[in-house]
């Protein structure tokens, strides 16, 4: 019987059909998905902080409205993804607890500080650009609710990336000081953006099984290469350079060659040693704890309304 | 008391003339808040003209384990499809 179920699961996945919430699935598949989708959801929620940092100091009402809409989208993306994890039997409260206790991770990119307003533009262009590279193939991931959430998210990410690039183009048309600010920001974000694709394939422990289950569609190195190829002409059009002396076109490969990110730094930030790790989690914990009375009051109000409705009926 | 809000399933009508379609779920203390949250989470870009929210616990679903027997009654009734009937090609409008 179990073999039957497993066979049906394998066949569904091989046929590029989707696995849906109430289907039988291997425990490992369920666990891997919960871990990956929760980590993704946490990244969206924590990702509101670096940019939220600039909402009150946006240089114009236009930029402020755009930034607000973008940060609100990140919240929405987190919610689509939490909703997907719940179809797998995860509990929302439990996921939030795991995040604020440091038992589940989020993307390390959000442990870097946003020092200038140019960072808002560079995050949109490079960080959201890298996220799009990662996420577009996930629209075809084997788990239905995850794939559907990714489709919604990808549509909205396109606005994020374009607003960032447009912001940078505007700054590049400004003063020398503004252009320097953009280049400085690119210098700081380029390597962390490349790290967003995860460790090199040879060291990526989860890749092989995830590819077999069609949760993951491309390897870390394939996506990283694709991102570099896409970004170089965009940098040229903008008038900035990437801080990599090894970056150059390789006509034989038909791709750009590029240097290796500092993986020691990557692992250090993953393990909690980044500039903002503690601040990000402390802020999330405070927001959650400060909101406790609102959640309780709303639940109490709902219970009271339900009783008085029953009485009136 | 438990402070975790119940789960609601959200259905959105994209535009007039279309059915409501399931788009996801969310937590809210009551139906009214579920509707407001659904508007903010699922229709930030004019994705809908009407929203339904339904307590997730109220949904009864067919079980995927009994998929084959449950849908079997329609499997052997080919005569329900128009292609079952052979009609000469020169007969118009059929």
pLDDT in tens, A62-120: 999 999 999 999 999 999 999 999 999 999 999 999 999 999 999 999 999 999 999 99
Residue-wise pLDDT tens digits, A246-263: 999 999 999 999 999 999
What's chain A's average pLDDT?
95
pLDDT at A311: 80
Q: What percentage of chain B carries pLDDT values higher than 90? A: 71
DSSP A19: B
- C-alpha A271/C-alpha A105 separation (Å) is 9
Q: What percentage of chain A carries pLDDT values higher than 90? A: 92
pLDDT at B65: 64
**Nearest Cβ partner for A296 among B3, B33, B65:** B3
Within 32-51 of B, beta carbons closer than 8 Å to A belong to 33, 40-41, 44-45
Which residues on B lie below 8 Å from A72 (Cβ)? 40, 44
ipTM of the complex as predicted: 0.89
Look at residues A179, A9, A165, A30 and name the one whose alpha carbon lies nearest to residue A90.
Answer: A30
**Burial category of A133 from C-beta neighbours within 10 Å (exposed 0-12, middle 13-18, buried 19 and up):** buried
- C-alpha B9/C-alpha B34 separation (Å) is 9
Structure tokens of B40?
A: 């903010």
pLDDT at B66: 58
pLDDT at B67: 60
Q: Pairing state of beta strands B50-55 and B7-13?
A: antiparallel
- Tell me the residues of A at the B interface, defined by beta carbons under 8 Å apart: 20, 22-24, 69, 72-73, 76, 79-80, 83-84, 86-87, 92-93, 145, 148-149, 156, 292, 295-296, 298-303, 305-306
Chain B: closest CA distance from residue A312 (Å): 18
Q: In chain A, where are the structural domains located?
A: 1-311
pLDDT at A40: 96
Which residues on B lie below 8 Å from A306 (Cβ)? 30
Contact A149 B24 (CB under 8 A): yes
Neighbours of A130 (CB within 10 A): 27
pLDDT at A2: 64
Residue-wise pLDDT tens digits, A196-217: 999 999 988 778 889 999 999 8
Contact B41 A76 (CB under 8 A): yes
Interface mutation target, options A12, A76, A79, A153, chain B, most CBs of B under 10 Å? A79
Residue-wise pLDDT tens digits, A6-28: 999 999 999 999 999 989 999 99
B83 touches chain A (CB under 8 A): no
pLDDT at B94: 85
Question: Is residue A294 scored above 60 in pLDDT?
Answer: yes
Question: Is residue B2 scored above 60 in pLDDT?
Answer: no
- SS3 letters for A79-138? HHHHHHHHCCCCCHHHHHHHHHCCCCCCCHHHHCCCCCCHHHHHHHHHHHHHHHHHHCHH
**Nearest Cβ partner for B63 among A22, A149, A302:** A22
In which residue are the tokens 């040693």 written? A273
**Nearest Cβ partner for B26 among A72, A83, A149:** A83
Domains in chain B, CATH or no CATH each: 7-61 (3.10.20.520)
What is the reported pTM? 0.92
pLDDT at B3: 62
Which residues on B lie below 8 Å from A22 (Cβ)? 61, 63-64
A233-237, B33-37, B89-93: range with lowest mean pLDDT: B89-93
| Average confidence (pLDDT) over A210-226 | 94
Structure tokens of A139?
A: 């629209």
Chain B: closest CA distance from residue A95 (Å): 13
Q: What percentage of chain A carries pLDDT values higher than 70? A: 99
Residue-wise pLDDT tens digits, B37-85: 999 999 999 999 999 999 999 999 887 765 667 888 887 888 999 999 9
- C-alpha B76/C-alpha B58 separation (Å) is 32
Provide the 3-class DSSP secondary structure of residue A247. Answer: coil
Task: Count chain A–chain B contacts defined by CB atoms under 8 A.
Answer: 57
| CATH superfamily name and code, A1-311 | Ferritin, core subunit, four-helix bundle (1.20.1260.10)
pLDDT at B36: 97
CA atoms within 13 A on the CB side of A56: 2
Which residues on B lie below 8 Å from A299 (Cβ)? 1-3, 5, 29
**Burial category of A204 from C-beta neighbours within 10 Å (exposed 0-12, middle 13-18, buried 19 and up):** middle
**Nearest Cβ partner for A299 among B5, B24, B40:** B5
pLDDT at B1: 42
**Nearest Cβ partner for B3 among A23, A145, A295:** A295
Nearest CA in chain B to A85: B25
Question: Is residue A230 scored above 90 in pLDDT?
Answer: yes
pLDDT at A291: 95
- C-alpha A241/C-alpha A247 separation (Å) is 10
Contact B41 A299 (CB under 8 A): no
Neighbours of B59 (CB within 10 A): 9
């Amino acid at each position: 019987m179990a073999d039957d179920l497993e066979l049906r699961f394998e066949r569904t996945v091989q046929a590029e059909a989707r696995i849906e919430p109430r289907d039988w699935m291997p425990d490992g598949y369920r666990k891997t998905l919960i871990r990956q989708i929760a980590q993704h959801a946490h990244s969206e929620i924590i990702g509101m902080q670096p940019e939220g940092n600039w909402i009150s100091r946006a240089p114009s009402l236009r930029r402020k409205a755009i930034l607000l809409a973008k940060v609100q989208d990140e919240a929405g993306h987190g919610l689509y993804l939490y909703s997907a994890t719940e179809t797998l039997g995860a509990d929302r409260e439990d996921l939030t607890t795991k995040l604020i206790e440091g038992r589940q991770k989020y993307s390390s990119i959000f442990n870097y500080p946003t020092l200038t307003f140019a960072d808002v533009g560079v995050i949109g262009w490079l960080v959201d650009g890298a996220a799009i590279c990662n996420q577009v193939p996930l629209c075809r991931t084997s788990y239905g609710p995850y794939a559907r959430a990714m489709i919604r998210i990808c549509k909205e990410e396109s606005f994020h990336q374009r607003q960032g690039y447009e912001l940078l183009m505007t700054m590049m048309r400004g003063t020398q000081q503004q252009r320097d600010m953009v280049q400085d920001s690119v210098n700081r974000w380029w390597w962390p953006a490349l790290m967003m694709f995860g460790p090199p394939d040879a060291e990526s422990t989860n890749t092989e099984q995830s590819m077999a289950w069609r949760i993951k569609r491309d390897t870390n190195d394939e996506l990283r290469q694709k991102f570099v190829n896409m970004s170089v002409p965009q940098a040229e059009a903008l008038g900035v350079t990437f801080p990599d002396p090894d970056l150059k076109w390789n006509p034989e490969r038909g791709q750009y060659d590029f240097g290796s990110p500092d993986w020691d730094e990557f692992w250090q930030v993953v393990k909690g040693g980044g500039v903002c790790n503690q601040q990000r989690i402390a802020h999330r914990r405070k927001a959650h704890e400060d909101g406790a009375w609102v959640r309780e009051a709303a639940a109490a109000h709902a219970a009271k309304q339900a009783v008085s409705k029953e009485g009136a009926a | 008391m438990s402070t975790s809000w119940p789960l609601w399933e959200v259905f959105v009508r994209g535009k007039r003339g279309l059915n409501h379609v399931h788009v996801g779920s969310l937590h809210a203390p009551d139906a009214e808040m579920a509707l407001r949250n659904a508007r903010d989470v699922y229709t930030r870009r004019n994705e809908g003209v009407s929203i339904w929210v339904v307590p997730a616990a109220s949904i009864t679903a067919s079980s995927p384990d009994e998929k084959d027997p449950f849908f079997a009654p329609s499997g052997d009734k080919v005569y329900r499809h128009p292609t079952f009937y052979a009609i000469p090609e020169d007969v118009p409008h059929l």
